[in-house]
């Protein structure tokens, strides 16, 4: 049995975590203040999925990695200039909103349409990768809905490791409570894998990989389909920054035992 797969990684963009993110209301709905000025990065959860996909593809000759991403084209181009040097992939770009106020169902619908349009895609040999969670679309539901729309019923969330058996069976390690892992065996593709942090570090930059990727990245950005990904049924009652609470008390010469006891009392009360 051939163990060559189409590994599709769904990845959104997130504002650089070092930036101050301030929500605000706009005529078209909630958004981030100065959103167009904020530098973007690949969603960290999805980045783990991409690096795991590349690692798996190297072990399975003939496999190909597709990166499907919905974000503003200008932001995608900025991120691709850096990301393209990490791992080889073919970009499938969707020109649409990338902030955390996008409805998971609408986002999944746009991603499903883009994946369905990939030329020659064999769903029976498809591995659908994405983040278990998201730094922006953190509903934890986008990948699940996407899998259902594509007819992928074997879904695994919080995955840290994956292996492909010679028979084509797929072995997965999922996180469960208490720091333990559940090992599952799926007979064959297709499967949907929501990745946790995985086991791989960020790959080093490789200019040769970057040059090869950019030959397809720029044309993909130019022909990116425009997507509104908005729902008239979705309403936000308010968008505010989290309240900051700081209670400070100055104590002099307080015994260590008393400090420890007060901390224990406070922890138990919270």
Residue 75 within a domain:
yes
Tell me which residue of 46, 234, 202 sits closest to 134, measured CA to CA: 46
Q: pTM for this structure?
A: 0.81
In tens digits, what is the pLDDT along the chain, a chain of 270 residues? 468 899 999 998 888 766 777 777 777 666 677 777 778 889 888 999 999 999 999 999 999 999 999 988 888 998 999 899 999 999 999 998 776 677 888 889 999 999 999 999 999 999 999 988 887 765 678 899 999 999 999 999 999 999 999 888 999 999 988 778 899 999 988 999 999 987 888 899 999 999 999 999 999 999 888 887 665 556 666 666 666 667 777 888 888 999 899 889 888 876
Query: Could you give the number of structural domains in the chain?
Result: 1
Under 8 Å CB-to-CB from 55, ≥6 apart: which residues? 200
Answer for the pair 6, 63: CB distance below 8 angstroms, yes or no.
yes
Report yes or no on 122 lying in a domain: yes
Coil vs helix vs strand at 77: helix
Is residue 1 a part of any domain in this protein? no
In a domain, 231, yes or no: no
Structure tokens at 224: 């990116």
CATH number for 107: 3.40.50.620
Full residue range of the structural domain in which residue 192 is found: 6-226
Give a yes or no: residue 235 inside a domain: no
């Amino acid at each position: 049995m051939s163990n060559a797969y189409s590994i599709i990684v769904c990845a959104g963009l997130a504002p650089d975590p070092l930036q101050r993110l301030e929500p605000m209301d706009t005529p078209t709905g909630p958004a981030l203040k100065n959103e167009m000025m904020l530098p973007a990065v690949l969603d960290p959860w999805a980045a783990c999925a991409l690096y795991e996909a590349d690692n798996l593809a190297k072990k399975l000759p003939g496999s190909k990695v597709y990166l499907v991403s919905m974000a503003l084209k200008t932001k995608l181009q900025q991120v691709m200039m850096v990301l393209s040097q990490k791992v080889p992939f073919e970009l499938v770009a969707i020109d649409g909103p990338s902030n955390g106020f996008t409805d998971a169902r609408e986002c999944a619908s746009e991603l499903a349409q883009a994946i369905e349009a990939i030329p020659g895609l064999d769903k029976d040999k498809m591995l659908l990768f994405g983040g278990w969670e998201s730094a922006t679309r953190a509903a934890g539901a986008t990948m699940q809905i996407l899998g259902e729309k594509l007819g992928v019923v074997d879904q695994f969330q919080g995955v840290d490791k994956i292996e492909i058996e010679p028979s084509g069976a797929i072995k997965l390690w999922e996180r469960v409570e208490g720091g333990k892992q559940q090992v599952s065996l799926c007979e064959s593709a297709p499967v949907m894998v929501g990745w946790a942090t995985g086991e791989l570090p960020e790959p080093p930059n490789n200019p040769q990989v970057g040059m090869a990727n950019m030959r397809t990245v720029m044309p993909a950005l130019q022909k990116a389909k425009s997507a509104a990904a908005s729902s008239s049924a979705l309403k936000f009652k308010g968008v505010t920054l989290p309240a900051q609470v700081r209670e400070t008390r100055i104590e002099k010469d307080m015994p260590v035992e008393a400090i420890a006891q007060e901390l224990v009392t406070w922890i138990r009360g919270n």
